[in-house]
Amino acid sequence: MDQKNQFLSAPTAARAFGFFVDGEWKDGAEHFERASPGHGTPVTRTVRCTVDDLNAAVAAARRAFEDRRWAGLSGAARGSVLLRVAEILRRRRDEIAYWEALENGKPISQARGEIDHCIACFEVGAGAARMLHGDSFNSLGDDLFGMVLREPIGVVGLITPWNFPFLILCERVPFILASGCTMVVKPSEVTAATTLLLAEVLAEAGLPAGVYNVITGSGRTIGQALSEHPDVDMLSFTGSTAVGRSCVHAAADSNFKKLGLELGGKNPIIVFADSDLEDAADGAAFGISFNTGQCCVSSSRLIVERSVAAEFERLLVEKMKKIRVGDPLDERTQVGAITTEAQNATILDYIAQGKAAGATLLTGGEAIDLGRGQYIAPTLFSGVSRDMAIARDEIFGPVLCSMHFDTVEEAIQLANDTVYGLAASVWTKNIDKALTVSRRVRAGRFWVNTIMAGGPEMPLGGFKQSGWGREAGMYGVEEYTQVKSVHVEIGKRSHWIA
Ligand code: TXE
């Protein structure tokens, strides 16, 4: 049987996972059972770790960092482990995608594509491990030479969310490893399986014990304790803006650990009348429906030029109605299930708020009953004003709000009218408009005549309340380093005491 067809139904019983510390699998007294949001049946069982488990993991990561079993290797040696990881992921792609689709509810075909992106992350990380370097100053005079070293920051805590459990993990882990750091990962309690599978992969690739540790458990206990931990040098957090803020307080109240934060977004997609409207409509439909809109870079605010707004919305509705919403394990599915019951309720509540506020519902706006699991139809509201909750809050679901503009200035102003600044997209055939908008809209990632394109060579991260720091590429590796200035005197010292 080929690997693709081996996994096309949900398992009959939950698969049990341990947690991973210092190269060993461990079990705990309490467990968390996860049901597939697409099927409603139990699929995985993970351990509810204790704060003692977390402390042991941080201690293991500290030992692995201080004895230089990883940081002391050459970039080439670290890179070759990362390349082996890429090879193993290629071999296990369908299996990892299967567990990702089961726990998260995303379509299996999309999950496989995400694993391909993760493989690329490890390949880019391997190159980055070899290329990471500092700087030198030959300009301090003949008797003084300056070197700037980039040293790994130490033990990193990594807290990840449930929307892209493996992809967000792999946009960070290779770069943390490339820098020479060690880490303790706390995945979301509802989607921990693939983070644990990565522990198997890393061990098989030859990563030394203690470098990658995984502690499973709730955000309120384990996540909070990790963010407060005095022996963690840096915390990379991806999740809600509210918890991001609590991480800032925790860092300030403990050891001033460095923070990398990737938080919410309310991302604009600006469509000018001179764009290819057919392309732009396809981009807009994809931008709001990909991963059921549970995506920090979802383009959730459509800002369209008034002269073509009616025509564009008609095109877009036509496309959105054709999107195949269905069972995540069905190869043809384009949009799967909503990942958690809480998120499902939040999205339906925002749809109700949109209707009550007087926005015009053009398509969707309701749950889809497939007999099991939780599904919501891709939804488009028009006539949305900028003060409505659906225009301001991150809904994190397949709900797009359309607003209209007349001038380039007005488009930029509407795009920037948000506390967030994660991503933006502009559609136009006019180079002046494309460049003006790209330079004036405040967002960490920008797409011109495309959406959600790119690879791990390019940095990602947010402006404003979307976060701090950048992940991926050389920028991503550098985030996990700190800079040391070394001054070397050459020749005989000119004495202070005569
Ligand atoms: O996120 P949380 P939730 C947004 C999105 C969504 C909302 C709520 O708008 O509707 O957040 O989602 C861990 N200290 N995003 O409640 O709670 C938690 O266990 C430390 C955007 O699920 O932020 C999980 O591992 N950690 C986002 C992670 O934080 C804590 C992706 C994220 O969960 C913690 C996800 C605490 N006190 C949600 N409490 C994006 N940027 O893509 C929880 N956690």
Q: Nearest C-alpha to atom 3 of ligand 1 is from which residue?
A: 240
Ligand 1 atom showing the smallest separation from residue 466 Cα = 41
Answer yes or no: is the C-beta of 292 below 6 A from any ligand 1 atom: no
Ramachandran region of residue 301, left (φ > 0), alpha (ψ -120 to 50) or beta? beta
- Is there a common fold for 3-263+466-484 and 267-448? no
* Ligand 1 centroid distance, CA of 456 (Å): 23
From the DSSP assignment, how many helices (H) and strands (E) are in the chain?
15, 25
Q: What is the pLDDT of residues 272-322, one digit of tens each?
A: 999 999 999 999 999 999 999 999 999 999 999 999 999 999 999 999 999
* Secondary structure (3-state) at 363: strand
Contacts of 152 (CB under 8 A, 6+ apart): 65, 71, 179, 180, 181, 480, 481
Which residue in the list 228, 262, 313, 471 is annotated as catalytic? 262
Would you say the CB of residue 80 lies under 6 angstroms from ligand 1?
Answer: no
Q: Is 41 exposed, middle or buried (0-12, 13-18, 19+ CB in 10 A)?
A: middle
Answer whether CATH 3.40.640.10 is correct for domain 267-448.
no
- CATH 3.40.605.10 for domain 3-263+466-484: yes
Q: Is 344 in the pocket of ligand 1 (CB under 6 A)?
A: no
Does residue 396's CB lie within 6 angstroms of at least one atom of ligand 1?
yes
Q: Establish whether residue 223 lines the binding site of ligand 1, counting it when its CB lies within 6 angstroms of any ligand atom.
A: yes
pLDDT of 162-215, one tens digit each? 999 999 999 999 999 999 999 999 999 999 999 999 999 999 999 999 999 999
> Does the pLDDT at position 4 exceed 60?
no
Both tokens of 451, joined, read 């959406």
- Please give the distance, rounded to the nearest whole angstrom, from the Cα atom of residue 464 to the centre of ligand 1: 18
Instruction: Name the residue with the closest Cα to ligand 1, atom 18.
Output: 219
Residue 2 reports pLDDT greater than 70:
no
- Domain layout of the chain by residue ranges: 3-263+466-484, 267-448
pLDDT (0 to 100) of residue 7:
55
User: How remote is the CA of residue 394 from the centroid of ligand 1, in Å?
Assistant: 13
**62-89: per-residue pLDDT in tens?**
999 999 999 999 999 999 999 999 999 9
pLDDT over 90, % of the chain: 97
In angstroms, the CA 319 to CA 323 distance is 7
**pLDDT of 443:** 97
pLDDT digits 0-9 by tens, 123-162: 999 999 999 999 999 999 999 999 999 999 999 999 999 9
Can you tell me the distance from the alpha carbon of 251 to that of 233, in angstroms, rounded to the nearest whole number? 10
Q: Is the pLDDT of residue 5 over 90?
A: no
Residue 473 CB–ligand 1 contact under 6 Å? no
Mean pLDDT confidence for 382-392: 96
303-342 in b/e form (b: 16+ CB < 10 A) is bbbeebbeebbebbbebbeebebbbbbeeebbbbbbbbee
How confident is the model over 401-405, as a mean pLDDT? 98
Task: Verify whether residue 262 is a known catalytic residue.
Answer: yes
The Å distance, Cα 160 to ligand 1 centre, comes to: 8
Convert the pLDDT of each residue in 324-380 to its tens digit. Answer: 999 999 999 999 999 999 999 999 999 999 999 999 999 999 999 999 999 999 999
Q: Give the up-direction half-sphere exposure of residue 308: CA atoms within 13 A in the CB hemisphere.
A: 21
Mean residue pLDDT of the chain comes to 96
pLDDT category of residue 6 using cuts at 50, 70 and 90: low
Averaged over 11-32, what is the pLDDT?
96
Best residue among 222, 236, 240 to mutate for probing ligand 1's pocket (most ligand atoms within 8 Å of CB) is 240
Indicate which residue's Cα is closest to atom 31 of ligand 1: 239
What pLDDT was estimated at residue 498?
87
- 243 pocket-lining for ligand 1 (C-beta < 6 Å): yes
Tell whether ligand 1 has an atom less than 6 A from the beta carbon of residue 467: no
